């Protein structure tokens, strides 16, 4: 049985359930106090609700086969030789940045180079730059990579933004989505102080998936549905009625503007008009990127197209799932 860990509370809980429903993977949870649930589309799977901060560890230790959590937590807790691998890095929700933030009053500190200089001045006075963060591993790696060697990390479980005001840290490294909370607490980010761009991601225990064929089957279905849904969000399906001598001539006219001619090309079919067969109407359908929608509509109009309809596809499946292929490649390397 596939064990899927999902966030039980916090900012990722509701968006995760909404995302899975949009992928055709609705979670059947009888009540919010119940920490197990089912996904009807996955007959052999069970859902385990966990704190988002704990999901990476649960997948790493094998208590769950796959899970959805923030990429920031995964990068902080897992290592290169970990059995916990990122299967889908961006599920297109839960976006935030892990940043270095300093007090607004530090007007001369705008970059990491300025912070390096400040830390050296503090070191000369027998003090160290104190950094409050819930991400000590990534913070240490990032600061050392920038040549900042003199600092101490301060663990904090509460609101990070008040650490400089309360006096137990000088600066913070924390997550932000809009920057509003930082500004309201007298902090600002450095120009080059972003450690990670994070969002919700899907992770999996490669050893568990390799050794559990039934769990791998459900994982394949999940990846297929997620991939096709995420791909579909990039496209619109546009249909217009166009007059022409033949279907070939209509298709040729559409493809004179290749960027709006569809993923593979236009679909052209005969319209049996109630106004007479001799009018030679054809229905032209193209699937185009959302950014190209107005261009596609105008192109069809220049061909005399009318009755233009636009649909947002729910899924766009390719001949093979790229996400599942990457997973199989990763499983082949598991010792």
Check whether 53 has a pLDDT greater than 80. Answer: yes
Task: Tell me if residue 195 falls in helix, strand or coil.
Answer: strand
- C-alpha to C-alpha distance for 25 and 36, rounded to whole angstroms: 15
Residue 65, pLDDT above cutoff 90: yes
Give the pLDDT confidence score for residue 129 in this predicted structure.
Answer: 96
Contact 214, 8 (CB under 8 A): no
Query: What does DSSP say about strands 267-271 and 281-289: parallel, antiparallel, or unpaired?
Result: antiparallel
The token duo for 206 is 């490669």
Give the Cα separation of 315 and 308 in Å (integer).
Answer: 21
Domain 96-197 sits in CATH 3.40.190.10? yes
pLDDT band at 125 (very low <50, low <70, confident <90, very high): very high
Q: What is the average pLDDT across 124-135?
A: 95
Q: Which fold has domain 2-93+199-232?
A: D-Maltodextrin-Binding Protein; domain 2 (3.40.190)
Q: From the centroid of its chain, how far is CA 120?
A: 38
d(CA 235, CA 240): 16
* pLDDT recorded at residue 105: 95
Is residue 284 packed enough to be buried (19+ CB in 10 Å), middle (13-18) or exposed (0-12)?
Answer: buried
Q: Which of 88, 21, 12, 4 is nearest to 314 (CA)?
A: 21
Structure tokens at 140: 């240490």
Look at the alpha carbons of 43, 45, 46, 48 in this order and tell me if their dihedral is positive or negative: negative
pLDDT score, position 276: 61
Model confidence band, residue 275 (pLDDT cutoffs 50, 70, 90): low
Domains 2-93+199-232 and 96-197 share a fold: yes
- Is the distance from CB of 36 to CB of 22 less than 8 angstroms? no
Helices 213-232 and 322-332 pack at an angle, to 10 degrees, of 140
Q: What is the CATH number of domain 235-311?
A: 3.30.70.120
Residues 9-27: what's their mean pLDDT? Answer: 95
Query: How many CB atoms sit inside 10 A of residue 236's CB?
Result: 19
Q: What is the pTM of this model?
A: 0.89
Domain map (residue ranges) of the chain: 2-93+199-232, 96-197, 235-311
Percent of the chain scoring above 90 in pLDDT: 81
Residue 52 has pLDDT above 80, yes or no: yes
What's the chain's average pLDDT? 93
Express each pLDDT in 173-185 by its tens digit.
Answer: 999 998 899 999 9
Tens digits of per-residue pLDDT, 187-211?
999 999 999 999 999 999 999 999 9
Determine contact, residues 91/221, Cβ cutoff 8 Å.
no
Q: How much is the average pLDDT of 164-177?
A: 94
Q: Which two tokens stand for residue 99?
A: 């940043």
């Amino acid at each position: 049985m596939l064990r899927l860990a999902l966030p039980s509370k916090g900012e990722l809980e509701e968006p995760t359930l909404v995302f899975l429903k949009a992928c055709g993977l609705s979670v059947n949870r009888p009540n919010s106090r119940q920490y197990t649930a089912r996904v009807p589309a996955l007959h052999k799977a069970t859902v385990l609700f966990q704190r988002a901060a704990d999901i990476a560890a649960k997948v790493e230790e094998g208590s769950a086969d796959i899970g959805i959590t923030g990429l920031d937590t995964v990068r902080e807790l897992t290592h290169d030789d970990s059995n916990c691998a990122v299967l889908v890095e961006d599920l297109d929700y839960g976006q935030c940045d892990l940043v270095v933030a300093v007090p607004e009053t530090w007007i001369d500190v705008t970059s990491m180079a300025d912070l390096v200089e400040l830390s050296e001045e503090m070191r000369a006075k027998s003090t160290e730059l104190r950094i409050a963060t819930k991400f000590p591993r990534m913070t240490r790696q990032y600061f050392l990579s920038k040549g900042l060697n003199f600092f101490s990390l301060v663990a904090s479980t509460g609101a990070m933004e008040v650490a400089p005001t309360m006096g137990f840290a000088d600066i913070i490294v924390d997550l932000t989505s809009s920057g509003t909370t930082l500004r309201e607490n007298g902090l600002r980010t450095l120009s080059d102080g972003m450690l990670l761009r994070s969002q919700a991601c899907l992770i999996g225990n490669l050893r568990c998936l390799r050794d559990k064929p039934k769990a791998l089957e459900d994982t394949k279905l999940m990846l297929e549905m997620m991939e096709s849904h995420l791909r579909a969000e990039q496209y619109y399906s546009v249909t217009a009625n166009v007059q022409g001598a033949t279907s070939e001539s209509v298709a040729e006219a559409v493809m004179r503007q290749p960027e709006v001619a569809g993923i593979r090309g236009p679909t052209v079919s005969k319209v049996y008009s109630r106004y007479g067969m001799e009018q030679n109407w054809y229905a032209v359908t193209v699937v185009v990127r959302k950014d190209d929608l107005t261009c596609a509509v105008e192109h069809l109009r220049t061909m005399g197209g009318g009755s233009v309809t636009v649909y947002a596809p729910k899924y766009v499946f390719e001949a093979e799932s790229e996400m599942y292929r990457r997973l199989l490649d990763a499983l082949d390397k598991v010792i």
